[in-house]
Chain A
């Protein structure tokens, strides 16, 4: 090892430290970049074997020439990141459930003007008023108006549910489109990352971008990621390989009229995504669950309420007698037994049957029985909004819990991969001092060289 070797050692150290400071600077610059993993400089001790023939050490000479750059890598904990990605599915499901639940609660709110609960109450109260003054056609007309208002409320609520369903389909389509775009991004980046690694120059920015895409995908569908030997990710969604290398298996939404029910399938297969109960299945699973369970249940309950209203009211009304002494008329159109088709069949106030006998308007037995039906319907209508409220409350609690878990796992993963300015500053100072020390090595070598030349 000659004095030249000392120069070489100092030069290698300075080069390496410059790279280290460049990495620290890059970390500081990207401290707020989403998905950025702090870069780590991997160094290795340099032996003379790599230093050329002039540097070959003689017997008893030191065999090292300082330090060199082995490469750059991303600092991350794959296990924590994998757990954080999986936690996104639970959070995505819960947030989607809260979104739909909030909309459903607003639609079914019994305190809004024109709600089913309010119009039902007015409707039954009108029967009471009509019974109190059975020969007053004005009061009977008010009853018919209230009945029409009630039917309108049912139809409007049915329309609101239809619109909510359409919005939910649009939302699901959006989620499926986003998922497919992310799958495509991951596959594309897989290709780029594998090529870079093969070339020995890993594309760390591409790897960051791919991790961000996986994280976003995790919020849409539950994913399991396996890192292959070439650095590419294989992404499985409910056991199906959605990404393998550069290959993508996309998702597609099917539904009426082509398909009897709404579903999300893997394109070109008959394998459908299982929405489960809408938990841990990401936004897509929860949106699908909303379309196939929550919304149909609400509509079914509303239709059942309308059908029972028609059946119960008509059952009593057809047995009663109007002011004209005739009987057998249904109050509601018996063919309209859903919320969307509910309508009042009676148009003449005199045909409202309050009496239990012909020509006896003072016998209000039928009207009183009709007015008394209200209690059961109030309870059933309240059940609609209460069920929506309970579901939303559960979804919010779930979202809080899932959010807490996702935040915790993100914090743990971020604690490994995130940038700490303080830490980077400390490293910079350390590198700065090492740089000065390396310069001193070169200065020492020069002094030695000068001493030798001066002999």
Chain B
């Protein structure tokens, strides 16, 4: 039977069809989406967190339109960070510890297809959350539709890519899944607090302002504020975009360089 010797025939092997990298990325993306929705608690908290912040902030700031105008882009930027940086750090550590990454590494699935699918999943979650926040801003907080869609899309895309890469890179520093929450929150919470505070308060101390401007979240809030509320145009926020993009380059470098497909025994 010819089947038994297929592997011994290089001529026949040479015109085997190689499944396309993009097609495989698409399949991986669909799998990631399905897995995401099947974990109800993760899906729930992923979308509940920004809504809770919106509800809480909205209740406190009710009637103060200027403050509400600043709340929406801040929550939107935080959502981007939660769906990319936080979610990917969790995901990578979990899959690494479970041995899923190692198993995938042993198959012909191209690395690019795998990460393409994973990244597209994060982008989808970020887009869904931005959508929720923007719609809530319009319907509940009277902010109106975003003034500058181009700026919104550019900032969300650059923000998602940068923070996703940083999340994967940060996973390298997390030793095991049990400690993931501690590690992630040790970064996420201070960054959110400093960025929100500096964005909101003109009287913030200079050194805090400098720190916040150098981190990726505050520039992202500035960009989204411009896009959603003022419509001042992308040109006015190029320096903010540059800061986020620089973090992105740094994040991609670290994410690729130190990536580990398996849990190291300690």
Answer yes or no: are A and B bound together in one complex: no
- By a beta-carbon cutoff of 8 Å, the part of chain B in contact with chain A is none
